[in-house]
Structures are given as C-alpha cells and as structure tokens.
Amino acid sequence: MSDFWSWFIIIIVVINLGGCAWLLWSNRKMSAEEAKKETTGHVFDGIEERNQPLPRWWLWLFWLTLAFTLIYLALYPGLGAYDGILGWSSEKQLEKRVEMMEKRAQPIFAEFAKEPVKELTQYPEAMEVGGRLFANNCATCHGSDGRGARGYPNLTDNAWLYGGSPQAIKTTLNNGRQGNMPAMGSALGGKEGVRDMAVYVQSLSNPQIAEDPAKAKAIERAKPKFATCAACHGQDGTGNQAMGAPDLTDDSWLYGSDLKTIQDTLMNGRSGKMPSFGNRLSEEQIHVLAAYVYNLSQSGN
C-alpha cells in the first residue's frame, strides 16, 4: 500500500471517530431552553414525540464502543499500513495454523515415508492424504482428476516427459522442470519448411496421413530435415526422457495435434515450466504425493 492511500485511510477513520465523539458529546445533555419544551414538535397520527434527553446507558454504551475501537486500532491493523502493536495478520495466523497442523501430521507422514512409493499406493489412507496434497498443490494446472489441460501434462497415462518411475516423479516434484523447445523456423527454411515438418511430425503418430499425395510430398521434403529435431526427439521420434523431449509417435500431445498448433510450436518454440515443490513440501509429503501421482498413471491405464 502506498503512503498516500495509507494516510487517506487513516484520515478517513480519524475523522469518522472524531465525528462520532463530537456527536455524543454535543448530545450528552439538553440546554436550559431546550429542557423547557415538553415535546419536540413532531406529531404523527395524533402521537406527539416527547422531548427527553438521551438515556445515560445509551450514551455510555457508545462511549465504550469508541474506546473499544481505539484500543482495537492500536493493537491490530486497521489504520492504513500500520501493523498494530501486536503485529497480527491473517497471513501470520494462517502460517501458525499450518505449522500446527504439520506438527500433528508429522508422525503420520513419517510412517508413510517408511514404505516404498509403489507399496504406498496400496494404502487407502495414504492415497487420501496424497489426494489432498495434490488438490492443494497440483490440481490448479493438472486438473482435479490429473488429466491435465493444454500445456499441462496428463498424469493418468504413461506418456511421461521425464519418466514415470517413482524416483523420476520425486525428482520432478523436488526440483521442478524447465521445458525448452527452441524456435525452428529459420532452421527449417521458413513457413513452407515449417508446414512440411508439421505434416511429417503428424505422420509419425498417424502414418495414414501419407496416403494423401500432397502430404506425402511434404513428408518427403521434410524427412531429411528431421535430423535437426533428432538430437532431442531421436531419429525415430520416440523422444528422450533425459531431456524432457516428448515422444512424437504416440497419441499424447501437450499442446495439440492439429497442423496449426504443431506449426506454431515449430515456428515459435515452447518453454513450459514445472515449479519446484522442494521448498514448499517436506520430503515425507513429497514421498506421499509422488505415490499419489504414480497411482494416477497406474489406475488410468
């Protein structure tokens, strides 16, 4: 919050409190002339409003409310950027609760960590805990069911960019991943070369495309140039998990298998990023989460 808005809020709050205090003070008692009047002069439906001072209990109740407000604003945030004497914040309160819950859960995670990832998938209570970890940390990108979305891998199949073994999954969760598909437009000879290569890439997972004479010619022109892609994807296009290069011969497409999407990928490149959770989750939590993700791929087949 900028200093301007901080002081703006402080001034507004002080003016309001001061106005309330003035109103109470000015109405604490009636003047001598006002006290002589038996009614206020307000009449409705034959009913006259009596002229009586405000009840003392009513005034004292509002004075106590003002006093409580001042004490509260001194102790807690409420005056612009002022943090309050106690330094309380909802974020700190949440952190304390999370810390408290983690301490309570540590013995449970410690027991789960004793079991290998594959065996841990057989424990329903471990999968329930892993599901909550997945919902809180992974579902935003991969979906609540783990089936992913455009640009986010489907975790329920066996098409793994970096490998689907328990250790590979744990490495991914701990360290994150940084995809790097370079732009190949100039290397392939511009738009025409990119289009030919896109058709060739499509044919790797769908050989029937070559039955079209026009596309067969495009494939023929692009095939020699695939050597520029083979360094990552392999000569046969089956990919390289050590580099995170996807298998181009299966039906799993991260961004889409249509010709335009493949052309966009070749022309502009891709740079998807999987964040690291090593600094957010404990080793035991990552162990349970890895088991849950591993189980997704097994149950999805």
For the chain, domain boundaries: 3-75, 91-179+275-299, 190-271
CA count, 13 A, side-chain hemisphere, 38: 1
Give residue 301's pLDDT: 52
Give residue 1's pLDDT: 63
Let me know if 244 is exposed, middle or buried by CB neighbors in 10 A (0-12, 13-18, 19+).
buried
Matching CATH topology for 91-179+275-299 and 190-271?
yes
For domain 91-179+275-299, give the fold. Answer: Cytochrome Bc1 Complex; Chain D, domain 2 (1.10.760)
Q: What angle do CA 217, 218, 221 make, to 5 degrees?
A: 85
273: how many CB neighbours lie within 10 A of its CB?
10
pLDDT in tens, the chain (301 residues): 678 999 999 999 999 999 999 988 887 777 777 777 778 788 888 888 877 777 889 889 999 999 999 999 999 998 888 889 998 888 888 888 888 877 888 898 999 999 999 999 999 999 999 999 999 999 999 999 999 999 999 999 999 999 999 999 999 999 999 999 999 999 999 999 999 999 999 999 999 999 999 999 999 999 999 999 999 999 999 999 999 999 999 989 999 999 999 999 999 999 999 999 999 999 999 999 999 999 999 875 5
Can you read off the two tokens belonging to residue 250?
């299966």
Can you read off the two tokens belonging to residue 235?
């000569």
Give residue 219's pLDDT: 95
Q: Judging by DSSP bridges, how do beta strands 39-44 and 47-50 pair with one another?
A: antiparallel
**3-class DSSP assignment, residue 181:** strand
Sequential DSSP letters for 21-71: HHHHHHTSS--HHHHT-SEEEEEETTEEEE--PPPHHHHHHHHHHHHHHHH
Task: Quote the CA–CA distance of 35 and 264 in Å, as a whole number.
Answer: 86
Q: Does domain 190-271 have CATH number 1.10.760.10?
A: yes
Task: Quote the CA–CA distance of 177 and 171 in Å, as a whole number.
Answer: 9
